[in-house]
């Protein structure tokens, strides 16, 4: 069996979903901030020769906002997950089997997103309950 692949990254604070899209007439486009974020992350992956994941993955995300304003953690996810797909970190969001998101203390002035992505091992299941969900317990 091969060595498990894990990748750890510190990325810039992502635009929230409220600033990720722009409506231009009947079209919905990714905003300038969204495109800039995506370009920075894609360039970094290319520079670091980051390999993508072909198998199911597990994502651990720590969000360090730039300030103390109220923020919903889910508003940062759309930009991050779409950027990872666009950059080739994985083929599709459907590969994500476990997603853990924690909002931490602010990190002025710019904030940061710490990401750890690894192959999904599915250690939560045993042979006896491999097909059962938690709600069947």
Match domain 6-119 to its CATH number in 1.20.120.1750, 3.30.1330.70, 3.90.730.10, 3.40.50.300.
3.30.1330.70
73 CA to centre of own chain: 11
Dist. CA 63–CA 117, nearest whole Å: 14
Q: Tell me if the pTM is above 0.85.
A: no
Give the pLDDT confidence of 57-71 residue by residue, as tens digits.
999 999 999 999 999
- Which residue has 């920075």 as its token pair? 40
pLDDT tens digits, 26-81:
888 888 999 999 999 999 999 999 989 999 999 999 999 999 999 999 999 999 99
């Amino acid at each position: 069996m091969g060595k498990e692949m894990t990748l750890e990254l510190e990325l810039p604070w992502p635009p929230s979903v409220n600033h990720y899209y722009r409506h231009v007439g009947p079209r919905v486009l990714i905003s300038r901030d969204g495109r800039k974020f995506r370009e920075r992350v894609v360039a970094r992956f290319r520079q670091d020769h980051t390999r993508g994941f072909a198998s199911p993955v597990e994502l651990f995300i720590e969000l360090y906002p730039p300030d103390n304003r109220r923020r919903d953690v889910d508003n940062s996810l759309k930009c991050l997950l779409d950027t990872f797909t666009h950059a080739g970190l994985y083929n599709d969001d459907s590969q994500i089997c476990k997603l853990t998101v924690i909002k931490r203390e602010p990190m002025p002035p710019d904030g940061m997103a710490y990401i750890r992505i690894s192959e999904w091992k599915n250690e939560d299941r045993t042979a006896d309950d491999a097909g059962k969900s938690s709600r069947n317990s």
